[in-house]
Amino acid sequence: MAVAALVDELRASLSAEATVTASATAKLVYSRDSWPRLSLQARAGQRAISPPDLVVHAGTVADVVEVVRAAGRHSLPVVPFGAGSGVCGAAVPIKGGISLDTKRLLDLDLSRAADGLICVGAGWIGQRLEHELQRHGYTLGHFPSSIGCSTVGGYLATRSAGQYSTRFGKIEDMVVSLRFVDGEGQLRHTTEGPLDTTQLLVGSEGMLGVIVDAWLRVEPAATSGRLFRGYWCTSVSQGLEAMRRAIQAGHQPAVFRLYDPFDSFISGARKAEEGELLLPTDPQQWPRKKAPSWLPASLSPAELKPRLMTAANELLSRRPSATHWLNILASKAETGCLLIAGVEEASDEDAALLGRALFDDLGSRLQDLGPAPGEYWFAHRHDVSFKMAPILAAGMFVDTMEVSAPWHRVAALYDAVHAAVENEAFVMAHFSHAYTSGCSIYFTFAGFGADESDCLARYDRVWKAGLSAVAAFGAATTHHHGVGLLKAAWLGSDQPGGAPLFAAARREIDPAGILNPGKLWEVAP
Amino acid sequence: MTDRWQATRSLTPAHRPWPIAAGQPTLFVPASLEALAIELQRAPAAALLPLGGGTDGLATTQPDALYQLDHLLQPASVDEASATLDLPASMTWGAAQAIATAYGLTLTDLPDAFADATVGGTLARAPWQPVLHHSATARARCIGISAMLLTGERYHYKTASRTASGPDLRTHFLGRAGATGPILRATIEASREGHLPHDLSLPLTAASLQAVIGLQRRFGRALRLLPTPAAATIRLRLRSDRPETALLLDALVALGAQHTTQLTNERPAADRWLTLPFAEASTLIEATTELFCLALGPTHLTVALRKSHPPIALANHELIREGLLGAGFTRHSEVSQ
């Protein structure tokens, strides 16, 4: 196949808004998403798994149709690409082909917003969409930490969740229907047939169609109706029990987050317990930590942090058991857990009513820390995505693993995963996305390696050990990051017997198998 | 291997109220799930269907045989902490509710007509789903299933509340009337008793449908609209566990609402459901007198046409249905949540 000829063919047939390129830069950029393992590989000097043959920015839905048809004629894979914020490798074009960027699909129909419905193009970045909706008095209620660098199409393709999912649900709860281009280049609607196939397309990670737009539910936006409260729990179990009881009693907080002892320590919860959070309401006015006197005063915090990381890396990489002992030390750093609860409603009146009921319920069981911890979290809720780069730059590995389980297994699952990975990495977790029958655990792990190769090997061992523990527990190995290449081997645990069903759907929608091939159930276990 | 015909006995209308008048499907009682798998591979598509509670008045497929699963499925189990019940597909909702009650749980505010319906039959019902609890359908409350493909292979969907484990492959079974293989078990999310809405209902006159829609927009999580025998009356049910209910009560009283203590449910099993965005609902309701039931979701007004309602001949029903579709109603496989 002559790529140059295909580029010319597409340039001639696509709209003026579309671009087609086979430049080395574009191919490098679209060879990966934000899967941390790919960053480790890049740091180690390894090349991308496989770059695409060319990159197309579709300007219209008709462009998507044309690109898929052209790909079919040339037997080339098509890999839909949103903003590349996925952390599991779902958008990596492992078999080359066309990376199809959908960010220019920016139609927005607000004519039914008063009915609680909008039609939105797949390319909208979450933050921009939310701004636009709030300008008209509405909210989608979808606030992932990646909101500034992720698209509606990506949310739908990976079953994304935002930080307010307990109140608004996950993206699969928000979508009413969607349009997609199938593997034969036909534009289809999920409700056109006798059966609604919306939930078949949601989570299909580009393998059952290129999502071009969707009808989503919206609600009136909160202007000031937002209230937070922090609570101190003596243990993870006590915090989980308080969450479970509150959810099953019918409360619907927008935010419900329980941090384990180490994560509570990191988040400054101990200060809250000691009363040091009797601080100005504005978190920006809180005092900064004073540096120890033995550190060189000439170094700024920005300069100091990577040096300390590097020193720790060099020190600890010579002691294989160091992470085990540091995990034990970390567990002693804090003696309790921070729970943050928050409500968000369209009016102050509603928020006050809901908040009072929820906060009274929690306050009857836990120590009330007041609003400061929650307000601090709200001000810094998107920071986590920006904390990974310095850790990677310091020579460490870091990643997050979100799993879910019924309530009766959550605490034991937390212990099991912790035990499975603690010899290889530091591990901490918070519990969020609470539902009537269960909740999600969000693990963060970080570690060191003797060299880049050892770092990658440890990273892989951590994931294998962690997900094996989750699967052995009968819990779900992914809650809202999707599957990608990272978790495909565990699909058989989450949906046993799903392979023939998925293959049947694939044959129906994409008989030639050109849409994002080699992912989900097509990954060899 | 089980001999299908040796194991077959007649299915009489008196035994099971199967709605198909012409011909009598025979009942196949497999000795094991493995034996059923063998028969499913032999039978042509839709010739062999699972036996439910026989309550579905909309069944249009006449199988050669129905198969019984009751004796092959493990009994129900309850996860009290997670408020879920793992139910065999052959269990009726009435029986399931009895188990839930023993654990201080309740499955749904189930319409009476569904007490004899089976869990598997309801989930397989195509294409419509009843509203079971506060606009949550049986499907919405179903967080896991076990099923058998026509190839005899098994499929299991995990019972965590939410996952991101690829597409929801339950689509292959839910709403397919058993034609793609039987649902064997379902895990249903329940509610804790004492936190459910109490039986307080308020009859309203539908002259101001927009007012009701306005209430729904503001208090959607605290109220639900119950089916009524005429479009002229709307009955609201309030969730007593929502703090905003007090505000809602004030608003309703201002609208002239009156309290009643008797909650009735007159929705027949044969309802067909159609939905319409709020903006277009008012005109349509005023123009249509044949609507039987109404329900409000967060975004849509849903109406039901009673297929077997005596005053409405089938032909009229179809005309109305087509008229509704032409007027902007959309068919949904289940009521929007």
Q: Are the beta carbons of A505 and B167 separated by less than 8 Å?
A: yes
What mean pLDDT value characterizes chain B?
Answer: 61
Q: Is the peptide bond prior to A373 cis by the omega test (within 30 degrees of 0)? A: no
* Domain A108-220: assigned CATH number: 3.30.465.10
Q: How confident is the model at residue B160 (pLDDT cuts 50, 70, 90)?
A: confident
Least confident among A102-106, A117-121, A278-282, B79-83: A278-282
Query: Which residue of chain A comes nearest to B78, CA vs CA?
Result: A408
Token digits of residue A224: 């000031």
Fold of domain A226-280+304-472: Vanillyl-alcohol Oxidase; Chain A, domain 3 (3.40.462)
Q: Is the pLDDT higher at B263 or at A162?
A: A162
Token digits of residue B55: 């309550």
* Length, in residues, of chain B: 337
Assess whether pLDDT exceeds 60 at residue A461. yes
Query: In the prediction, which pLDDT does A350 show?
Result: 77
Assess whether pLDDT exceeds 90 at residue A382. no
Q: Which residues in A lie closer than 8 A to residue B143 (C-beta atoms)?
A: 437
Mean pLDDT along residues A361-389: 85
* Residue A79 near residue A516 (C-beta atoms within 8 A): yes
For residue A324, with 0-12 CB atoms within 10 Å meaning exposed, 13-18 middle and 19 or more buried, which class applies? middle
Assess whether pLDDT exceeds 80 at residue B308. no
Tally A–B CB contacts below 8 A.
Answer: 199
Q: Strand locations in chain B, DSSP E?
A: 9-10, 26-28, 48-50, 65-67, 77-79, 84-88, 105-106, 131-133, 136-137, 142-148, 154-156, 183-189, 191-192, 201-205, 223-226, 233-238, 271-277, 293-296, 300-306, 330-331
Domain ranges in chain B with CATH number 3.30.465.10: 1-195
State pLDDT tens for residues B6-55.
333 444 333 333 333 445 667 778 889 998 888 888 877 667 788 876 66
Nearest to A191 among B161, B278, B330 (CB): B330
Residue closest to B309 by CA, chosen among B319, B317, B301:
B317
* Residue A469 near residue A458 (C-beta atoms within 8 A): no
Assess whether pLDDT exceeds 50 at residue B335. no
A384 and chain B in contact, CB less than 8 A: no
Query: In the prediction, which pLDDT does B26 show?
Result: 73
Q: Is the pLDDT higher at A56 or at B160?
A: A56
Query: In the prediction, which pLDDT does B94 show?
Result: 85
Kindly report the nearest CA distance between residue A501 and chain B, in angstroms: 7
Residues facing B136 on adjacent strands: B133
Query: In the prediction, which pLDDT does B107 show?
Result: 80
Query: In the prediction, which pLDDT does B23 show?
Result: 54
Mutate to test the interface with B, among A115, A195, A413 (most CBs of B within 10 A): A115
pLDDT > 90: percent of chain A: 66
Q: Which residues in B lie closer than 8 A to residue A470 (C-beta atoms)?
A: none
Assess whether pLDDT exceeds 60 at residue B110. no
Mean pLDDT along residues A362-375: 92
Place of tokens 């979508």: A175
Query: In the prediction, which pLDDT does A26 show?
Result: 93
Nearest to A197 among B83, B171, B239 (CB): B171
Query: Which residue of chain B comes nearest to A167, CA vs CA?
Result: B221
Second-level CATH architecture of B1-195: 2-Layer Sandwich (3.30)
Mean pLDDT along residues A207-224: 90
pLDDT > 70: percent of chain B: 40
Query: Which residue of chain B comes nearest to A219, CA vs CA?
Result: B217
Q: How confident is the model at residue B178 (pLDDT cuts 50, 70, 90)?
A: confident
Mutate to test the interface with B, among A347, A431, A437 (most CBs of B within 10 A): A437
Q: Are strands B300-306 and B293-296 parallel, antiparallel or unpaired?
A: antiparallel
State pLDDT tens for residues B215-260.
555 555 555 554 343 333 444 444 444 455 555 555 555 544 444 3
A193 and chain B in contact, CB less than 8 A: no
Least confident among A344-353, A355-364, A419-428, B160-169: A344-353
What CA–CA distance (Å, rounded) separates A290 from A293?
9
Q: Is the pLDDT higher at B14 or at A121?
A: A121
A502 and chain B in contact, CB less than 8 A: yes
Q: How confident is the model at residue A517 (pLDDT cuts 50, 70, 90)?
A: very high
Second-level CATH architecture of A3-104+506-520: 2-Layer Sandwich (3.30)
Query: Which residue of chain B comes nearest to A519, CA vs CA?
Result: B166
Q: How confident is the model at residue B337 (pLDDT cuts 50, 70, 90)?
A: very low
Q: Is the pLDDT higher at A291 or at A70?
A: A70
For residue A193, with 0-12 CB atoms within 10 Å meaning exposed, 13-18 middle and 19 or more buried, which class applies? exposed
Query: In the prediction, which pLDDT does B249 show?
Result: 54
Q: Are the beta carbons of B243 and A356 separated by less than 8 Å?
A: yes
In our burial notation (b when 16+ CB lie closer than 10 A, e otherwise), range B133-145 reads bbbbbbbbbbbbb
String of DSSP letters for A20-66 = EE--HHHHHHTT--S-HHHHHHHHTTPPPS---SEEEE--SHHHHHH
Query: In the prediction, which pLDDT does A48 show?
Result: 72
What CA–CA distance (Å, rounded) separates B298 from B278?
9
What is the reported pTM? Answer: 0.81
Least confident among A12-16, A33-37, A259-263: A259-263
What CA–CA distance (Å, rounded) separates A198 from A191?
7
Q: Is the pLDDT higher at B263 or at B88?
A: B88
A190 and chain B in contact, CB less than 8 A: no
Tell me the HSE value of B114 on the side-chain side, using a 13 A CA sphere.
24
Assess whether pLDDT exceeds 50 at residue B1. no
Q: Which residues in B lie closer than 8 A to residue A479 (C-beta atoms)?
A: 160, 162-164
What mean pLDDT value characterizes chain A?
Answer: 88
Give the highest mean pLDDT range of A186-190, B254-258, B297-301.
Answer: A186-190
Query: In the prediction, which pLDDT does A268 show?
Result: 58
Cα distance between the two ends of chain A = 31
Assess whether pLDDT exceeds 60 at residue A205. yes
Kindly report the nearest CA distance between residue A193 and chain B, in angstroms: 10
Mutate to test the interface with B, among A501, A506, A508, A523 (most CBs of B within 10 A): A501
Q: Is the pLDDT higher at A292 or at B333?
A: A292
Q: How far is CA A62 from the centre of its chain?
A: 30
Nearest to B165 among A196, A494, A504 (CB): A494
Token digits of residue B292: 């039987």
Q: Are the beta carbons of B279 and A520 separated by less than 8 Å?
A: no
Query: In the prediction, which pLDDT does A165 show?
Result: 92
Mean pLDDT along residues A57-63: 98
Least confident among A312-316, A334-338, B215-219: B215-219
Other beta carbons within 10 angstroms of residue B259's beta carbon come to 12
A413 and chain B in contact, CB less than 8 A: no
Nearest to B168 among A200, A436, A479 (CB): A200
Q: Are the beta carbons of B244 and A244 separated by less than 8 Å?
A: no
Residues 109 to 148 of A: which have CB under 8 A from any B CB?
112, 114-117
Kindly report the nearest CA distance between residue A234 and chain B, in angstroms: 20
Place of tokens 């978790």: A487
Give every CB contact of residue A255 below 8 A, 6+ residues apart in sequence: A163, A164, A166, A167, A228, A340, A341, A342, A344, A374, A377, A378, A432
Residues facing A400 on adjacent strands: A444
How far apart, in Å, are the Cα atoms of B57 and each of A146, B17, B306?
Answer: 48, 10, 11
Q: Identify the H or E element spanning A513.
A: none
Q: How confident is the model at residue A179 (pLDDT cuts 50, 70, 90)?
A: very high
String of DSSP letters for B140-190 = HHEEEEEEE-TTS-EEE---SS---SSS-GGGGTTTSTTTT--EEEEEEE-
Query: In the prediction, which pLDDT does A518 show?
Result: 95
Query: Edge-to-edge, what's the strand order for the sheet holding B300-306?
Result: B293-296, B300-306, B271-277, B330-331
**Interface predicted TM-score (ipTM):** 0.86
Q: Which residues in B lie closer than 8 A to residue A195 (C-beta atoms)?
A: 126-127, 171, 175-176, 333
What CA–CA distance (Å, rounded) separates B168 from B123?
15
Mean pLDDT along residues A80-96: 96
> In chain A, what are the domain boundaries?
3-104+506-520, 108-220, 226-280+304-472
